Amino acid sequence: MRVIFMGTPEFSVPTLRAIAQAGHELVAAYTQPPRAAGRRGLELTPSPVQREAERLGIDVYTPLSLKNEAEQDVFCGLNADIAVVVAYGLLLPRIVLNAPRFGCLNGHASLLPRWRGAAPIQRAIMAGDEKTGVMVMRMEEGLDTGPVALTRIISIGADMTAGELHDELMPACASLMVEALARLEAGDSLTFIPQSETGVLYAKKIDKAETRIDWTLPAGQLHDHIRGLSPFPGAWCEFEAGGKRERLKLLRSTLMEGSKSKSSHEPGMMIDDALTIACGEGYLRLEEVQRAGSRATPASEFLRGARLMAGARLL
């Protein structure tokens, strides 16, 4: 089939690659425009999808919006059978949604209607969900409101980070979308089931203000917060070194026994020399951390350099 692919981040790339490998004709790839990157923020960097599309020899389009008539005419003129959308980042107007013969299919990384929106992977872990998945749905004008055709469920381990879940969901999304296209190409109709009107949750974009750790919260909630933001953007706190405060990114943690009981120590206090921290309820052991300007390290290596001991405070 003639396919338009629309996506931007690394998560989208396996689906683009799988569609190409399945033998479909990729007539165009739509992605977000190159963004400023680099240490000084001066170099324009193309998206992962743009780099992969160019490697595959696919024409790339990077409009700032699809709301203007000129861009809509270009899209409609591609005469696609279907558009596949995976983490594109732009809302599609009705004329774009209706232009391909089979409409637009979206690969979304949650079990809809739970976690519609921008950050479903992070929000599922931060909420302590035990399962998530990927769904192929037909797109409508609403945000992730369309009916669902295919679903694959993925378990979320108790210590799984957002990065690990991201890497497990990527190939699942790719294989599910290729299955959907194969069925359409073979003439098998996909059965689209409307989403439930109950259980709707929105996965809003991660705000910088919510990445700082609040040690007065229960250990279980902080554990989910840390792994849900790992490796990016990363939950963080501060510690004192040489009379100065320094930021510390928290990448991996372990819940300690008695994590649901009220702590007898002040929240944020190290209770041993292994980076076990008192929380509002229970205790959390930090396993992997990252000092500002340094690489991620095991907690033991960090402690040797920072020279923190029991009784120190994380702020």
Do both 224 and 192 map to the same domain? no
Annotated binding site: 110-113
- How far is residue 255 CA from its own chain's centroid? 23
For the record, the structure tokens of 224 come out as: 């989910």
Do both 123 and 225 map to the same domain? no
Annotated binding site for (6S)-5,6,7,8-tetrahydrofolate: 110-113
User: Could you give the CA distance from residue 219 to residue 32 in angstroms, rounded to a whole number?
Assistant: 38
Total of domains in the chain: 2
Question: Are 285 and 277 spatial neighbours (Cβ–Cβ below 8 Å)?
Answer: yes
Q: Nearest to residue 73, comparing CAs of 102, 98, 96, 103?
A: 96
Do both 156 and 227 map to the same domain? no
Q: Enter the pTM of the model.
A: 0.92
Strands 283-291 and 276-278: antiparallel
**How much of the chain, in percent, has pLDDT values that exceed 90?**
84
The helix-helix angle for 13-21 and 162-185 (nearest 10°) equals 30
User: Could you give the CA distance from residue 287 to residue 48 in angstroms, rounded to a whole number?
Assistant: 31
233-276, pLDDT tens digit by residue?
999 999 987 778 999 999 999 998 765 666 678 999 999 989 99
Question: Are 158 and 254 spatial neighbours (Cβ–Cβ below 8 Å)?
Answer: no
188-247, pLDDT tens digit by residue?
778 999 999 999 999 999 999 999 999 999 999 999 999 999 999 999 999 987 778 999
Q: Nearest to residue 113, comparing CAs of 196, 203, 231, 175?
A: 196
For residue 258, the domain's CATH number is 3.10.25.10
Do both 117 and 17 map to the same domain? yes
Do both 38 and 54 map to the same domain? yes
Question: Are 238 and 315 spatial neighbours (Cβ–Cβ below 8 Å)?
Answer: yes
For the record, the structure tokens of 243 come out as: 């009379």
Which residues lie below 8 Å from residue 164, measured CB to CB, with a gap of 6+? 157
> Residue written as tokens 């569609």?
19
Question: Are 242 and 285 spatial neighbours (Cβ–Cβ below 8 Å)?
Answer: no
| Domain edge (last residue) among 169, 203, 237 | 203
- The domain in which residue 298 lies consists of 208-306
